[in-house]
Amino acid sequence: MKIKHLLFAMLAVAAISCSPAQEAKEYNANYMWFDCEANYERLSDPDSIYFYMKKTKEAGFDNVVVDVKSIMGEVLYDSHIAPYMGEWEGHYRRQDYDMLGYFIKYGKELDMQVFGSLNIFAGGHNFFDRGIIYKQHPEWQSIVYDRGVLTPISEMKHHYNGMMNPANPEVQEYQLSILKEFAELYPEVDGIIFDRVRFDGITSDFSPLSKQLFEEYAGVTVENYPDDVLYWEKNSKDELVWRRGPHFNKWVEWRAMTIHNFVEKAHTMLKEVNPDLIIGDYTGAWYPTYYQLGVNWASKDYDPSERYDWATENYKNTGYAEMLDVYMTGLYYTLVSKEDVDNANGFTGVRNEAGMDVNDLTYCYSVEGGAELAKGLTGRPVIGSIYVEQYMNDFSVFGPAVTQALKSSDGLMIFDIVHLIKHSLWDELADAMAAAQEQIEAQAE
């Protein structure tokens, strides 16, 4: 197989400096993620919360990220706006059970920072027919141009994540109100991590509203919608594949500007509520194809149009890295090093994330290369994020991946604690972190 080596465009932005505000902000570098659904029963008891926070601290993590707004749009705190997630898989909680309050309390005792994570534009779980898009606001769901057919995302039962339309002003205002309420309810929380601040994929959203908003933005009339943006045809293998229409690149720009503007509004609003709040974001690291999700997590000083044919000259204006105090990038790859890419047979792992092209085997589809690319394109500290069950076929690779993430980035995020518990990987994690420290110290000598 011919391997395409990326000569990273980060060389052009490697000298981008951090803003003075970010340099003044101090925060620790290792984060343990607690998913709300996978850990629902586990986190329904204060003693259990303390036990796993203490275990996390002993493992070398000074930060926990607690998922408080699920992909269904339901929350795990007493909100006057969003519905409460009072049950999951037969387990129940009272609405006055303050899960995050216990995390904050024990965080102070253990000298740990506590972050709340909120799924922003996710609004339903299609495997359970549950969530905002099923009950409160079905009109907010994404319309997907799936294999040439416009389909409400709630009808796509092979796809678990029922995303809303991020371009809908009502959706944006609703999400901003939830973020504001959360920051006001928890003034002692150290920070907020955005998750799923994105479109579902390149085939969404193709609602009439998105057409109208795009035409207003671009100053055009799309005569044949959606095919003048994106259309489907059969390839040489008789498979249906999407292709770019004449308005595709401007559409890509508009979507990324939509997300940029939302992040900017959220950042400004949250800093007004609590100037000390640390604002962070999680995205995948696969930048060459992440445009498909309507997200440009790079620095505004980086111009992707010099390298990628999907980017307009104005696409660089959609970058929002400077608005983040913490950026977590998903290094969800089985291949650990760039050398592994050189020796690969084309298989990149069990996880196929939104926007990821597992057939485009470049250095950025490795833990080492992905971290280097993210640091270069943002010009800022990057937290390398490892998905534990990426290595479920061979957990011997988990340790080296953790070590590489710590060496190549500015910190570590582990997703998720449930996988460490399920597969008893605490010792492997400790050994990998110790190995990284030894190698970093040896390089510094």
Q: Tens digits of per-residue pLDDT, 210-221? A: 999 999 999 999
- β-pair partners for 281: 194, 327
- Phi and psi angles of residue 378, each rounded to the nearest 5 degrees, phi first: -95, -30
148-167: average pLDDT: 97
Q: Tens digits of per-residue pLDDT, 406-423? A: 999 999 999 999 999 999
Confirm if 407 and 37 have CB atoms less than 8 A apart: no
Closest by CA to 163, choosing from 260, 72, 253, 230, is: 72
Q: Tens digits of per-residue pLDDT, 308-336? A: 999 999 999 999 999 999 999 999 999 99
Q: What is the pLDDT of residue 355?
A: 55
The DSSP 8-state label assigned to residue 141 in this structure reads B
Pairing of strands 230-234, 240-244: antiparallel
Closest by CA to 287, choosing from 330, 326, 338, is: 330
Confirm if 185 and 227 have CB atoms less than 8 A apart: no
Secondary structure in 3-state letters for 98-133:
CHHHHHHHHHHHHCCEEEEEEECCEEEECCCCECCC
In the predicted structure, residue 1 carries a pLDDT above the cut 60:
no
- C-alpha to C-alpha distance for 232 and 56, rounded to whole angstroms: 48
Among 10-14, 143-147, 185-189, 298-302, which stretch is predicted with the lowest mean pLDDT? 10-14
Pairing of strands 143-146, 149-152: antiparallel
Confirm if 397 and 367 have CB atoms less than 8 A apart: no
Mean pLDDT, the chain, as a whole number? Answer: 91
In the predicted structure, residue 74 carries a pLDDT above the cut 80:
yes
Confirm if 353 and 286 have CB atoms less than 8 A apart: yes
Reported as a pLDDT band with limits 50, 70 and 90, residue 344 is confident
- C-alpha to C-alpha distance for 432 and 386, rounded to whole angstroms: 12
Residue with tokens 């609003």: 269
96-108: average pLDDT: 98
Residue with tokens 């993430």: 405
Q: What is the pLDDT of residue 361?
A: 61
Q: What is the pLDDT of residue 151?
A: 98
145-162: average pLDDT: 97
- C-alpha to C-alpha distance for 200 and 355, rounded to whole angstroms: 9
Residue with tokens 């969800």: 332
78-101: average pLDDT: 98
Burial class for 140, CB neighbours closer than 10 Å (0-12, 13-18, 19+): buried
Q: Which domains does the chain carry?
A: 9-444 (3.20.20.80)
Confirm if 8 and 372 have CB atoms less than 8 A apart: yes
Query: Counting every residue, how long is the chain?
Result: 445
- C-alpha to C-alpha distance for 69 and 36, rounded to whole angstroms: 8
187-194: average pLDDT: 98
Residue 44 identity: S
156-178: average pLDDT: 97
Reported as a pLDDT band with limits 50, 70 and 90, residue 403 is very high
Q: Tens digits of per-residue pLDDT, 5-23? A: 333 333 233 333 333 233 3
Q: What is the pLDDT of residue 342?
A: 85
State the pTM of this model: 0.92
367-385: average pLDDT: 96
122-129: average pLDDT: 98
- C-alpha to C-alpha distance for 287 and 318, rounded to whole angstroms: 14
94-100: average pLDDT: 97
Q: Tens digits of per-residue pLDDT, 251-273? A: 999 999 999 999 999 999 999 99
